Structure 1
Amino acid sequence: MSAMREELHLLVDELPESRVLPVLALVRENVSSSRRREKAAVALEAIRNRMRGVTGVDEELDRLRDESRG
């Protein structure tokens, strides 16, 4: 186990039980959003590959990717 993971385990072990749930929720949220970003990147690459050679597609996909999500 990496030193950072080990430290996380030690810190969680020191928390009062009432604070463990919020920490777990935060970790789960970050894991979930990380997976969504990875899936979106894979989907974008698949679209880019299918549309290769079509004029303007790369620029439009770049614009959509870089656009603010709100």
Structure 2
Amino acid sequence: MREELHPLVDESPEDRALPVLALVRENVSSSRRRERAAAALESIRDRMRGVTGVDEELDRLRDESRG
């Protein structure tokens, strides 16, 4: 997909390419935040294993929409 994006950006007028690039950057940033949050929750889950109610609370936090 990356190979397809470069020629498309090169061929597009700048005023058309900039909004697309901004959208791509936003999605990449958002994806990385979700990955880091999931890794942090897993780390917490490992450290708190065996404590009553922790798994349910972490599941609730993970599944809850953060808008």
TM-score bracket relative to the smaller structure: 0.7 to 0.9
Tell me, which stretches of 5 or more residues in structure 2 are unaligned?
none
TM-score (norm 2): 0.87
* CA shift digits 1:15-40 (9 cap, x unpaired): 11111211111111011101101110
Partner of 2:9: 12
- The alpha-carbon deviation at position 58 of structure 1 amounts to 0.5
- The alpha-carbon deviation at position 68 of structure 1 amounts to 2.1
Paired-residue identity, %: 88
Secondary structure (helix, strand or coil) at the match of 1:52 reads coil
Partner of 1:49: 46
Structure having greater relative contact order (Cα 8 Å, sep ≥ 6): 2
- How many residue pairs align between the two structures? 67
Mapped partners of 1:37, 1:67: distance in 2 = 13
